Structure 1
Amino acid sequence: MARTRVSERLPEFPWDRLTTYAARARAHPDGIVDLSVGTPVDPTPSVVQEALRGAADSPGYPTTIGLASTRQACIDWLERRHGVTGLGLDQVLPVIGSKELIASMPGHLGIGPGDLIGYPELSYPTYEVGAVLCGADALATDALTAFGPQVPALLWLNSPSNPSGRVLPVEHLRKVVDWCRERGTLLVSDECYLECAWETEDGWPVSVLHPDVCGGSTEGILAVHSLSKRSNLAGYRCAFVAGDAAVVGELLAVRKNLGLQMPGPQQVAMKAALDDDAHALEQHARYAARRAKLREALLGAGFRIDHSEASLYLWATRDEDCWETVAWLADRGILAAPGIFYGAAGSRHVRVAFTATDERVDAALARLA
């Protein structure tokens, strides 16, 4: 019997569907303003570049578990910036970008056919990809009651959310933790936008590893963090996972066999980035200014902004099919991501990133006006 190619089972890569709209936007006399992807455009901090240069002589293989100094920097950052306490070195694992980890984690943990993976109704497409790759069933929902008698093997959270920027309050996070522990479900929280907050009612977004959420125990819980957004390190592929020591140990055992190792120089650079808060605060201020200008311009152009209290995006709608909005913006030389990329619930929204340069953001403002 002929095998089914994995590529045939995967969902269509979303950005392939934006090609014609990108061409329309590029045809603008002043060029495209690409607000479709949240990729950093500002310089990598000098403190990180210097650390990378200093570690450039790296002839030997790195270890999968990573440098103790890098893992300690992860622990220190979580405690200093996010109030996470009590983590040990065996509860942290550096990884080669968070997307790779998210896509491969279910299979690496032995989840497969007959198992169920849950993820948010509006969500990063890679959660679904991870389920498809390991052959598990998947359910996109924000309601725990939607699982009925089924017990998911893994449940993803994403707060602050990509694409909507929604932040889940402590009470909700605690309820999900309790629900998962009662059923033996592994809870994994994607917290890549944790430091990208703007208008949250309860202050800063809270990690699922915070004692107010997890009760001081990491049992059955993991949190995924990335430095791509905080520190303009998307090109370095620096991320880490932290939480339940037993689960981190499982991931480590598999990744050793696969040779999944963060390069040594990147580990040194990652420590330098985590140890330095000044550059992150400067970058936060840049994004806050760009966000404020784009938000005002979109509102002035007749859009409504929903959620968007955190992350690097504005979740905008004109109360029409998202592709109509994408086309309207493309005719003005602006490219945005259609909300349908993130699930059926996004079909009347577009995701507008504010990760463009100041010059390109100003160009968008003029076109929206």
Structure 2
Amino acid sequence: MSAALPDFPWDLLEPAKAVAAAHPDGLVDLSIGTPVDPVPALIRAALAEASDAPGYPLTAGTPALRTAIAEWLARTCGASGKLGVLPTIGSKELVAWLPTLLGVGPGDVVVIPQVCYPTYEVGVRLAGAEVVRADSLTALGPDPRVKLVWINSPSNPTGRVLPAAHLRKVVDWARERGAVVVSDECYLTLGWDETPVSVLADEVCGGDYTGVVSVHSLSKRSNLAGYRAGFLGGDPALIAELLAVRKHAGMIVPAPVQAAMVAALGDETHVADQRALYAARRESLREALLKAGFEIEHSAAGLYLWSTRGEDCWATVDWLAQRGILAAPGAFYGPSAARHVRIALTATDERVAAAVARLTA
């Protein structure tokens, strides 16, 4: 099975990481968007309070969690219709296994963005289906083999935000062909220059979620990457099908994590505080990169600065590594991204300041 998958991207970055780690002032790792700030106290308290959990948890989530998810989707995504909801073990496992869980297989086509999170492609390969990279519906033509369309706004890695009109066209196109639209919205609450729109918003779906599912995560919003806490919202029939399969597969969010998710979804104060930290880091890194001769494209939302020096991405990775800074090469995200690097905002204030000093020296 592993032979059918691409090389694990981060293994390819090890030589550059060794160079960057040799810097006298230490490594500044801006390659992976892993949170570094503390888990909010109210979430840790909820986890601890629910830690006496000897029985099996519900795959569907507790009633309190299902209510918290539905209310958050209505409040944050502007979803006014009847939603199906489902907790997931983070978002990566869901992305990797969703085509398989939906019955996509050999002979089917899954559309993914031209530049995107590598696990979309991995999931298609695990299912034995064919990957097509496309941002334009007209490029796809009338192919009846398309069963699933991935969209991602705000984008990882580019930070691009798709407008409601574009999302609506994708949904309409997919419904005409009986395909499912899955929207990865894990960075939805991190808009900077633009306000992201959910595929569940009324201006996109009008309260009808047929064939539409949105994917969310608390990893970035609430610093819960270590908890593996994600969830889905959308078409009740599709969600019910996913629940039925996931029950058999044992894909269950642990009970203490479910309680922590309820606390996280019910509080916006910690979200605002974390946004302020990222906003300051973003501005510092953006200014330093521009001074160092980089161009920054898109990056209107999310936790990354999509940057280029107009050269092969690996040359840029090496240039940064010589200054003790590790970035992700654009080649990880698709063939058309080979001249960009992804700079993450997820480092401590001290490490961001170190990167700024090195870039502007």
Asked whether the two chains share a fold, i.e. TM above 0.5, the reply is yes
Q: 1:259 aligns with which of 241, 247, 250?
A: 250
Q: 2:57 aligns with which of 54, 62, 81?
A: 62
Match of 2:105 in 1: 112
Match of 1:358 in 2: 349
Task: Assess if the C-alpha contact under 8 Å between 1:106 and 1:130 holds in 2.
Answer: yes
1:249 aligns with 2:244: no
Q: Which moves more between the two structures, 147-156 or 237-246? A: 147-156
Distance (whole Å) between structure 1 residues aligned to residue 20 and residue 295 of structure 2 = 22
Which deviations, in whole Å up to 9, do the C-alpha atoms of 1:246-275 show, x marking residues without a partner?
Answer: 111111111111111100010000010000
TM-score of the two chains, using structure 1 as the length reference: 0.96
Please list, as runs of the form range in 1=range in 2, the aligned pairs for 1:1-369 lying within 5 A after superposition: 6-88=1-83, 91-151=84-144, 152-200=146-194, 204-369=195-360
Task: Assess if the C-alpha contact under 8 Å between 1:112 and 1:134 holds in 2.
Answer: yes
Which deviations, in whole Å up to 9, do the C-alpha atoms of 1:202-222 show, x marking residues without a partner?
Answer: xx2110001100121000000
Which deviations, in whole Å up to 9, do the C-alpha atoms of 1:339-367 show, x marking residues without a partner?
Answer: 01000111000000010000000000110
Amino acid at match of 2:46: A
Which deviations, in whole Å up to 9, do the C-alpha atoms of 1:313-335 show, x marking residues without a partner?
Answer: 00000000000000000000000
Distance (whole Å) between structure 2 residues aligned to residue 289 and residue 71 of structure 1 = 34
Which deviations, in whole Å up to 9, do the C-alpha atoms of 1:19-40 show, x marking residues without a partner?
Answer: 0000000000000000000000
Which deviations, in whole Å up to 9, do the C-alpha atoms of 1:234-254 show, x marking residues without a partner?
Answer: 000000011001111111111
Amino acid at match of 1:31: G
TM-score of the two chains, using structure 2 as the length reference: 0.98
- Overall identity of the aligned pairs, in %: 61
CA drift at 1:171: 0.8
Task: Please identify runs of 4+ aligned residues in structure 1 that moved more than 2 A.
Answer: none
Structure 2 gaps of 5+ residues are none
CA drift at 1:188: 0.2
Distance (whole Å) between structure 2 residues aligned to residue 174 and residue 111 of structure 1 = 23
Distance (whole Å) between structure 1 residues aligned to residue 155 and residue 53 of structure 2 = 37
Task: Assess if the C-alpha contact under 8 Å between 1:329 and 1:336 holds in 2.
Answer: yes
**1:229 is paired with a residue of what secondary structure?**
coil
Distance (whole Å) between structure 1 residues aligned to residue 127 and residue 170 of structure 2 = 24
- Aligned residue pairs: how many? 359
Task: Assess if the C-alpha contact under 8 Å between 1:75 and 1:87 holds in 2.
Answer: no
Distance (whole Å) between structure 1 residues aligned to residue 103 and residue 70 of structure 2 = 27
CA drift at 1:71: 1.1
CA drift at 1:83: 1.6
CA drift at 1:75: 1.1
Distance (whole Å) between structure 2 residues aligned to residue 23 and residue 259 of structure 1 = 39
